[in-house]
Amino acid sequence: MSTAAGEAARRRTFAVISHPDAGKSTLTEALALHAHVIGRAGAVHGKAGRGATVSDWMDMEKARGISITSAALQFAYRDAVVNLLDTPGHADFSEDTYRVLTAVDAAVMLVDAAKGLETQTMKLFAVCKHRGIPIITVINKWDRPGNEALALMDEIAERTGLQPTPLTWPVGIAGDFRGVLDRRDGSYRHFTRTAGGATIAPEEVMDADAALAQEGDAWTTALEESELLEASGAEHDQELFLAGATTPVLFASAVSNFGVAALLDTLVDLAPPPADRPDADGKPRALDDPFSAFVFKVQAGMDTGHRDRLAYIRICTGVFERGMVVTNASNGRPFATKYAQQVFGRDRETIETAYPGDVVGLVNASALGVGDTLYVDAPVTYPPITTFAPEHFAVARAADTSKYKQFRKGMDTLAGEGVVQVLVSERRGDGAPVLAVVGPMQFEVATHRMEHEFGSRISIEMLPYSVARITDAESAPEIAKARGAEIMTRPDGEVLAVFTDKWALRALEQNKPHLTLTPLVAAQLA
């Protein structure tokens, strides 16, 4: 087996997906804690004496207690190398999450025990299903009052179409989390709380007799429910899991660090390693082919000491070596990888080599954009990454005209990252660009970042538009005269027509069918 293929077999690259407030970032940090890469968890936002999680590094994230941008964490566990991508849960940041899901081989679907499968969870599940990503389900917050365990299994089966195959089963009802029955060997894993859940919760492994003596009826109930699951065929089958027909289930409390070690072991034992990845023509590229990767995210402002721009790449084939000169397939230009870093939240360290499945941060990557393919020797282009159609628009203006240089720099940076589209309208001029986003909270993020990263406070004026279409230079003048419409241009030269609502668009399409009005390619998350 080649070096690339051998190292790829050790990789486990996955994302954590869920509805907001289900505990994604808390779980991310609990996993890092159990892998012994951090000493204490700061998992509960806003609690006295507790910090923000390592994966939430933006000031706004720490203040709000939510993840706004995806974060990459890499660490070793057992004989594996884990690449864990934490993602925003809020619907306003769906595009960032979607991009991350192009770069993973498996997903952990986090479900709040009290709330079950919520809206955003289902939308992200649909993306995973569409991409053929195997899913491990974690029922979180079992230390709080919630639904019955069997009822949650029914909900998962009915709403996702996946058959849940629990690997562990709770001993004690939701709100009285004592431990879990390990259905694979029949043992009992008893959890002991630690102060504030900041350190690894001790686990005591007992046999069935000892468990019965300690837990009594709670153990008996867990056994009876496990037998019901067995009778219904809810047993793990690796082929069915990888085929997307079943989902292994674990019960946990991320904030208490209960059941987290079992999840890490499950990821190493069951989650698939990187496999041959198809190129844009559908032809699989072998793991031991020459180096290739694609950019799935661009992020600025991670280093407050430097105005750098970090491009996250997912390595698909071959061996990455720092300093190698790669070719950008989008324009045929070379790119030197002198500054390559392993990312751990906001902290970074130089990395010399990396392998398929790894996520590497390339610094000073102003020449790279989301979706770009990088390769050495053997030309390849991977499928493009979908850009969502914006639904909210606002004019941005510098609050202090003496800071216009900083204002321009900030706008260019936001445009380069690609999550916020920065448009120019002849009606308003270069000094008043239009920000176009999927969700309105992106305006708050942009405003905050403009002030704190670039030193330019901005004012935001909401525009009445909600629909965008791609047009061309020939159609633009006529569209611009239509009621409820405006023409704007993206930095890449694409001409957009925006409308107040779908009825304004429909009226123009019916009255002037000769005009070019093409829907933006948008990922369907429902």
Binding-site residues, in ranges, read: 86-90
Instruction: Give the closest residue to 297 by CA, choosing from 354, 368, 243, 364.
Output: 368
Q: Which two tokens stand for residue 121?
A: 């969870």
Q: Which two tokens stand for residue 211?
A: 């468990």
Q: What is the rounded CA–CA span in Å between residue 24 and residue 359?
A: 19
Annotated binding site for GTP: 86-90
Q: What is the rounded CA–CA span in Å between residue 81 and residue 7?
A: 9
Amino acid present at 69:
T
Taking a C-beta distance cutoff of 8 angstroms, is the pair 526, 125 a contact?
A: no
CA atoms within a 13 Å half-sphere pointing along the CA-CB vector of 114:
10
| DSSP per position, 470-482 | EE-TTTHHHHHTS
Radius of gyration of the chain (CA): 24
Q: Which two tokens stand for residue 205?
A: 């492994």
Taking a C-beta distance cutoff of 8 angstroms, is the pair 177, 258 a contact?
A: yes
Strand partners, 470: 496, 518
Q: Is 345 left (phi over 0), alpha (psi -120 to 50) or beta?
A: left
CA dihedral 65, 66, 72, 77 (to 10 degrees): 60
Dihedral sign (CA 20, 23, 24, 29): positive
**Long-range CB contacts (< 8 A, 24+ apart) of 160-164?**
160/117, 160/122, 160/125, 160/129, 160/247, 162/135, 162/244, 162/245, 162/246, 162/247, 163/233, 163/234, 163/240, 163/245, 163/246, 163/247, 164/137, 164/234, 164/246, 164/247, 164/249
Instruction: Give the closest residue to 15 by CA, choosing from 292, 445, 312, 419.
Output: 312
Q: What is the rounded CA–CA span in Å between residue 61 and residue 498?
A: 31
Mention every residue, 6+ apart, whose C-beta is less than 8 A from residue 330: 369, 371, 372, 373
Strand partners, 350: 341
* Residue 274, helix vs strand vs coil: coil
